[in-house]
Structure 1
Amino acid sequence: VSGDGAPRYWRALFTVGFAGREEFQLLANQSWHLRLYPGSHGAAPGTAVVLGPDRKGKGKNWEVMAPPGTEMEVKLDLEAEDPRDRVTCAPVGDLIEIA
């Protein structure tokens, strides 16, 4: 995940594969021991409170479904008012920019 301006906000891009479904977690400091993950496996970004960073996230991934080849943007906003909105994901260009 790359920093984007203020240190509270990061984003990453990925392309949805052939199956039309992708899963992910976020890592702090590129460490599997510092995972950010949803409270339940398969939660869509923006629907579950973000847990971590810690070692307890094994097997708990966010899930995104979109047509194969769709370029997606994941955003991490540590100061989002609603804790469920700390991790969001949408097709590139569809997310509202954070001021």
Structure 2
Amino acid sequence: PSIITLTTILRENMPERVTPAWLKRKNTQNAYFVVEKAKEDGLMNDHLLNGVLQVETSTGSIDRALACHEYRFQEYNLTPSEYSDRLVLEMLIKNHRLPR
């Protein structure tokens, strides 16, 4: 079946334990698993960190997202890009922490 068909079926038959909060936690766990695996394999780069930052900014944890932007890039001797900055800015605007 197509992804569109599966999405419709999943929405209609989503198990009760699969809440938006559970999905956010699972997404965050998966992102950090990928980071750890990339770290072990020596494949860490700014694209992976931007992926983690995107997960953090979309899950609603402003403090974790800001810490990720400020410290995680430094941890791997990488510099946040304009895209990284944009992710954080969009999150702050979306959460009414900055005026448009």
After TM superposition, is the score higher than 0.5?
Answer: no
> Taking structure 1 as the reference length, what is the TM-score of the superposition?
0.23
Task: Calculate the TM-score normalised by the size of structure 2.
Answer: 0.23
Relative contact order (alpha carbons < 8 A, sep ≥ 6): 1 or 2 greater? Answer: 1
CA radius of gyration, larger in: 2
The structure with the largest strand share of the pair is 1
